Amino acid sequence: TASGGPPRCVVAVAASTGGPPAVQQLLSAIPRGLPVAIVIAQHMPVRFTRAFAERLDRIVSIHVLEAEDGMPLVSGCAYVAPGSAHLELALLGDTVCARITQAPPGNATITPSADRLFRSCGTVYGQRMCGVILTGMGSDGRDGAAAAHAAGARILVEDPRSAVMSGMPQSAIDAGIADEVGGVEVLAASVVRFVASWASVPA
């Protein structure tokens, strides 16, 4: 099994209003043992993100945990950004690690920022990144996904017609960066194919 080693690729997920069930559905389709790390920016208050990660960990086959600063990314794991903070990826030597930046009190910026997460994933992984934009209001994820897309990443977007909130998916579609649009089950199958395509490529 590929679990436990350095990820060959990364899947970044952006979700806001209506996101938890969609994130659960997406992660439920990911089998254990794939050489991928999944990073999730779900807009949620700080006291809820750890419970969200723990709940997902009990339900899905891959390991899910709340990301901590400096934590190395490991294959077969999904990392939930802590609420009221930003999760980004950084290369420390040969190891990809999570970097957590606390948002200043009273800051109007959306946390965790999908834009910042996607941008950093694109910088570190390039074409070995797949970004998934799920339900949510507003346009978080669009600009970061555009930067990642320019770096070679594949961007999947939930069909606005099936999303609880169409704002985030529609903004990505309007920006012309969606490589595929579909329901969550369709996107989940595409994620598995994406990871499988990198599984046989030397690291």
Residues 62, 49 contacting (CB under 8 angstroms): no
Pick from 180, 105, 173, 115: nearest CA to 148? 115
Residues 137, 165 contacting (CB under 8 angstroms): yes
| Catalytic residue chosen out of the listed positions 16, 113, 139, 166 | 16
| Catalytic residue chosen out of the listed positions 75, 120, 140, 149 | 140
* 69 has catalytic annotation: no
Residues 137, 16 contacting (CB under 8 angstroms): yes
* 16 has catalytic annotation: yes
- Please list the helix, strand and coil fractions of the chain in percent, rounded to the nearest 5, in that order: 35, 25, 40
Residues 36, 8 contacting (CB under 8 angstroms): yes
* Separation in Å, CA 181 to CA 9, 21, 63, 117, 134: 21, 18, 27, 21, 10
Residues 42, 121 contacting (CB under 8 angstroms): no
| Catalytic residue chosen out of the listed positions 43, 86, 149, 166 | 43
* 174 has catalytic annotation: no
Query: Which residue bears the tokens 């997902």?
Result: 56
Catalytically active residues, by annotation:
16, 43, 140
